[in-house]
Each structure stands twice: as C-alpha cells, then as structure tokens.
C-alpha cells in the first residue's frame, strides 16, 4: 500500500466521528481530505454531523468498532477507492462517555478499549496508516496532593477494580496496545492525552455540567454541580483540542504522548457564576453527590505540547459565549437520544 495518497486528497478514518470532539475533528479534516466517519450513536448524536452529510468528501458509516469492519465492502465508500488508495490516517476517538449513564455503558466501554482498539489498530496495520489515539487525563489517576501539573513521563495509581476501571484502566490498556503495535508492526503512532473539554455539541442532561449550566440558567432552573464548592477542573475549548490533535499528527516524528488541555485551574462554582452573569439569569447553584464518572483531575504540564507549536487560544469567556450561543440556538435537539 502506498505511503502517500495516489489521488488528490487523503482518505482519513475517524472513529467516534459523530461525537462531541469527533464531529469538530471531521469538520476540520474535510477542508483538505476525504473523511470516513464511523459511529454507532451510543453516546453521540446525529445532529453533530448533519451539516457534513452533503459534502461529497464525507461518508458516515453506522457501525460498532467492536465488530471487525471491512471498508472495502461498503458500496457507499466506492468513491473513496479504498482498494487502490487505502487509508492514510486514522483518528481513534470511539469510546462511550456518559457521566449520568456510565453504568449503562460499562460493557461497551470495556469492549471499545480492548476489542475495538485491536480492530482499529489492525486497520492501521493493513493500510500502514498514521494512527492517533484519543487518550485521556484519567490515566494519571487522581489529582496529586501537591497540585503539580502532570508530565507525560508520570503514571498514576488508581483502583482498577472499581466501576470506573473499564474506562480508566481501559484507556491505559489502549495506550499499551498502541505502543505494542508500534513496536511489532512499525506503526506511526501518536497519543494525545486530552483533559476536560467543553464547547458546543455536548449532549444535555447527561452530566456534562457546562451545557447543563447554560440550559438551566436560560430556563431559570437550579444549576447543579456534582461535587462540592471546592470541585476544581481545567477546561479546554473543543476547537483548541482539535488543533492540538492535528498538530500532533502533522509532526514528522512521534514525540511520545502529549497532554492536550488547559493548565488554568478553576472552580466549577465560579464557572457556573460566570454563566449566570453572561445569561442574566437569577438561578441558584446547588451541590449534589458526585457522579462516578466525575472526579478531581489534575492539570496538564504543557511543555511538550508547546514544543509542537500548540497552545490553547480560546479564553474561558470566549468559549462560554460560543457555548451559550450554540445551546440557545439548538436547545430543542441537544438532549441525548439515549435519554429515557
């Protein structure tokens, strides 16, 4: 299989491409490439990619990565000429993320991080494709007591037998799978450890607090923080994350795992207060028991990311403004389709 496209544009596969981050990534990649988006809408939503479906360089495949996929057998992909051109890049983002319904997706999460991971890596081997793994800050474990930012050389400790293990330990296994395939099959692997991200297209009423803050502020309901008044986090805007992913993939050589996030620490209660101010809402803020998927995460050391030429550019105020505008415009279609 040729290392470079024999046609004018690369064929690029994005798994989880209808998800929050994945849909923005597909949109960005379509500027210069042909994109195959794979998703099964377990925790994503069709509305995220509706605007892309008319683009002749985009094709959506409704499929589960835990099943072996043969892209050369899909008639709708004939125009991509995969038999001749192959696939040049794979961005692997598929993994259920549902804070409120985390328990409902534990089995799917386990499979996505193991069987699904193997299947997508096997595709990379078949087509000699450059491979991006969407890893996460959870592989570092809990926020350190001294509060220092996590460096990529560090590794955390956590109980892999808790209900969260299918995600936390699953993401660590996925990184191990990437490095093993790199060593055995000489794959070009890139690993981005993504920290807490926010922005348009996050589903509502699913425990993603920023869009729920916005909706509740607009509707005059209580803003719910799943934690106490000291619950802190860093927040990075989704387009900054996409830019970091693409810069990492464009490097001529793999720099090793790279943190992609914000190193600015902020209390969630202060974010909620800022949203109340920006929306002119008189709603109150309440605190409830933390969801299993929500916990204190550390901050990223961005030294390695900055060496790639990347820094987060969207300020919290700018990002919240964009999130508010999107939520107001799309509030009737934002609720996740898997809500009961």
- How many other C-beta atoms lie within 10 A of the C-beta of residue 245? 25
Within a domain: 303: no
- What integer pLDDT is reported at residue 11 of this predicted model? 97
DSSP 201-220: TPPSSSS-HHHHHHHHHHHT
Residues 6 or more apart in contact with residue 228 via CB below 8 angstroms: 287
As beta bridge partners, residue 92 has 15, 133
Please tell me which residue in 91, 127, 140, 167 is annotated as part of the active site. 167
| For residue 334, pLDDT beyond 60 | no
Q: Are residues 228 and 213 in the same domain?
A: yes
Residues 38 and 120 grouped into a single domain: yes
Q: Is residue 307 part of a domain?
A: no
Report long-range pairs for 324-332 (Cβ below 8 Å, ≥24 apart).
Answer: 324/214, 324/275, 324/278, 324/279, 326/199, 326/200, 326/201, 327/200, 327/204, 327/211, 327/214, 327/215, 327/218, 328/214, 328/218, 330/47, 330/200, 331/204, 331/215, 331/218
Please report whether residue 289 resides in a domain.
yes
* 35 lies in some domain: yes
Q: How confident is the model at residue 338 (pLDDT cuts 50, 70, 90)?
A: very low
Q: Are 126 and 239 in contact (CB under 8 A)?
A: no
First to last CA, the chain: 46
Place of tokens 């309440």: 286
Tens of pLDDT along 96-155? 887 767 778 889 989 999 999 999 999 999 999 999 999 999 999 888 888 899 999 998
What tens digit of pLDDT does each residue of 278-331 get?
999 999 999 998 776 566 778 999 999 999 999 999 999 999 999 999 988 877
User: Same domain, yes or no, for 216 and 320?
Assistant: yes
Beta strands in the chain, from DSSP E residues, in sequence order: 11-15, 34-39, 58-62, 89-92, 130-136, 189-194, 197-198, 223-226, 232-234, 236-237, 258-260, 265-267, 285-288
**pLDDT score at 25:** 98
Place of tokens 């379509």: 30
How is residue 38 written in tokens? 């794979």
Q: For residue 340, is it within any domain?
A: no
Query: Could you report the per-residue pLDDT of 193-233, keeping only the tens digit for each?
Result: 999 999 999 887 776 788 899 999 999 999 999 888 998 88
Phi, psi of 326 (to 5 degrees): -70, -45
Residue 213 lies in a domain: yes
Structure tokens at 4: 């470079």
89: in domain: yes
Determine the pLDDT at residue 271. Answer: 96
CB 11 within 8 A of CB 5: yes
68 and 151 in one domain?
Answer: yes
In terms of domains, do 319 and 221 share one? yes
14-51 tens-digit pLDDT: 999 999 999 999 999 999 999 999 999 988 889 999 99
Residue ranges with strand state E in 245-302: 258-260, 265-267, 285-288
With 0-12 CB in 10 A as exposed, 13-18 as middle and 19+ as buried, what is 165? middle
25 and 170 in a single domain? The answer is yes
Residue 55's pLDDT band, with cuts at 50, 70 and 90, is very high
pLDDT at 157: 73
List, for residues 156-184, the tens digit of each pLDDT value: 777 787 777 788 889 999 999 999 999 99
Q: Contact at 8 Å (CB) between 245 and 226?
A: no
- Alpha-carbon gap, residue 241 to 314, rounded angstroms: 10
Contact 257, 133 (CB under 8 A): no
Do both 127 and 224 map to the same domain?
Answer: no
Tally of domains within the chain: 2
Give strand pairing partners of 38.
15, 61
Residue 117: how many other CB atoms lie within 10 Å: 27
Q: Which domain holds residue 206?
A: 198-234+263-296+314-330
Q: Are residues 255 and 166 in the same domain?
A: yes
Q: Which residue shows structure tokens 């995969």? A: 82
Q: Specify the CATH number for the domain of residue 218.
A: 3.90.25.10
**Residues 187 and 210 occupy one common structural domain:** no
* In a shared domain, residues 242 and 161: yes
Alpha-carbon span 98 to 110, nearest angstrom: 14
- 237 catalytic per annotation: no
pLDDT tens, 71-94?
A: 999 999 999 999 999 999 999 999
């Amino acid at each position: 299989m040729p290392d470079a496209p024999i046609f004018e544009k690369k064929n690029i596969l994005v798994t989880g491409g209808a998800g929050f981050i994945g849909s923005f990534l597909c949109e960005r990649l379509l500027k210069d490439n042909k994109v195959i988006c794979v998703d099964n809408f377990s925790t994503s939503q069709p509305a995220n990619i509706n605007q892309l479906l008319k683009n002749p360089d985009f094709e959506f495949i409704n499929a589960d990565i835990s099943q072996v996929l043969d892209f050369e057998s899909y008639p709708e992909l004939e125009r991509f000429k995969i038999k001749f051109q192959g696939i040049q890049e794979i961005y692997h983002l598929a993994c259920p993320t549902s804070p409120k319904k985390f328990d409902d997706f534990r089995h799917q999460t386990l499979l996505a991080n193991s069987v699904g991971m193997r299947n997508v890596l096997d595709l990379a081997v078949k087509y000699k494709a450059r491979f991006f793994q969407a890893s996460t800050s959870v592989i570092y474990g809990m926020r350190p007591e001294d509060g220092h930012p996590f460096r990529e050389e560090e590794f955390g400790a956590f109980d892999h037998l808790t209900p969260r293990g299918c995600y936390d330990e699953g993401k660590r296994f996925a990184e191990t799978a990437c490095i093993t395939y790199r060593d055995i099959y000489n794959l070009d692997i890139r690993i981005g450890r993504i920290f807490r991200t926010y922005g348009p297209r996050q589903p509502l009423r699913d425990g993603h607090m920023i869009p729920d803050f916005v909706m509740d502020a607009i509707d005059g309901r209580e803003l719910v923080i799943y934690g106490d008044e000291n619950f802190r986090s860093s927040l990075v805007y989704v387009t900054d994350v996409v830019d970091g992913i693409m810069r990492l993939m464009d490097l001529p050589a793999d720099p090793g795992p790279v943190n992609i996030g914000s190193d600015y620490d902020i209390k969630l209660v202060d974010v909620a207060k800022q949203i109340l101010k920006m929306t002119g809402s008189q709603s109150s803020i309440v605190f409830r028991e933390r969801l299993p998927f929500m916990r204190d995460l550390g901050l990223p050391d961005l030294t390695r990311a900055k060496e790639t030429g990347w820094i987060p550019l969207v300020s919290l105020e700018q990002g919240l403004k964009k999130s508010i505008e999107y939520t107001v415009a799309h509030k009737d279609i934002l609720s996740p389709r898997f809500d009961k």
